[in-house]
Copies of this chain bind each other. A is one copy, B any other.
């Protein structure tokens, strides 16, 4: 992920990865035939968690509740996997590769729809784009000096304002105290 961040996905070869790890190219090739394989493997556990967050958000009754669940869940996930999300979300080559997979592209569309649903029309899509891009950028190298808890809190608050969401006054019924604490 460090090499992808520094040289872009398209600019990183398996040879560079092997050099960085201090192994031969054959050793990397034994596990991953292409850098696409490697990126897919790194990203898969994050996508699995994201699927769960999106699925739960879609069961909520109001546009506000759907956007709130997606925002808090996605920010927590993005902060936990800072390096992966930064590449996944800002590198043209990585985006092209991942979005060429119909399932990933569908997840991004559903995320955007959940965030955009708070405000009708194109304004909702601009708000959602700003929040998605903002989360990706703020989890990148620029914010390394900020600890995870502070980053999570500030991103949720900025995201709520950008989307026009009010902060929830108390835990909703289907959130356990543990979940609430982990995203507060």
A residues engaging B (CB < 8 A)?
4-11, 90-93, 96, 122-123, 125-127, 129-138, 142-143, 146, 150-151, 154-155, 157-159, 161-162, 164
Contact = CB atoms under 8 A, between A and B. Distances in A.
A8 B9 CA distance: 9
A143 B125 contact: yes
Residue among A4, A142, A146 with the highest chain B CB neighbour number at 10 A: A142
B92 A158 contact: no
B6 A8 contact: no
Contacts of A11: 8, 10-11, 92-93
A125 to B, nearest CB: 7
Contacts of A164: 161
Contacts of A162: 130, 134, 158, 161-162
Given A5-B92, A8-B11, A138 B143 contact: no
Contacts of A136: 133
Given A143-B126, A154-B126, A154-B127, A7 B10 contact: yes
Contact of A133 (B9, B122, B137): B137
